[in-house]
Amino acid sequence: MKLAKGPRPREVHVFALVFTAIGLWNFARGLSDLTQVRTLLEYWTVSQWSRDAVIVAVSARFTIVLIPVIAVWAFASTIARILVTIMAALSLLLLIEQVQLFAAGAPVDRFRIASVLAGAFAVMYLYTVPARYWFREGAHGVAKAFE
């Protein structure tokens, strides 16, 4: 992969900033409440997790968030743009559960709702006219390298 050429449009900067902020916030929340994260991991995997393993899992999750951000921002990766679009769509589907819990009077994680909506709006910025043009030009730069 080659670095994308030309200045990045504001929309790409907004996407990178929002996704990185959401990732940092989730990272900080995970590290501040390792007991809750451990409980969730043990529920999902049906195995015991040490404190160190939970910290590694929280760190890995943050790294996984940063990979598509870097791929989009630095390399104008169309594949990364498609992947974050799919993940944002799946996250929006999970909001249905949060809305049902809220309607039933159960406590909901308001930050999770806000972060999913912010992430979805950030992904929509990747499909604006300036961003689409930048992705197209970045892709042409990579295609020309193989000619």
What is the arithmetic mean of pLDDT over 118-132? 95
Say if CB 114 and CB 29 are below 8 A apart. no
- Whole-number Å distance between alpha carbons of 122 and 111: 16
Please report, for the chain, the start and end positions of each structural domain, with discontinuous segments joined by +: 10-141
Instruction: Give me the chain's average pLDDT, please.
Output: 89
Looking at the chain, list the stretches that DSSP marks H as alpha helix, in order from N- to C-terminal side: 10-32, 34-45, 51-75, 78-103, 110-125, 129-145
User: What is the pLDDT confidence band of residue 14, given thresholds at 50, 70 and 90?
Assistant: very high
- Whole-number Å distance between alpha carbons of 131 and 143: 18
pLDDT in tens, 51-105: 999 999 999 999 999 999 999 999 999 999 999 999 999 999 988 888 888 888 8
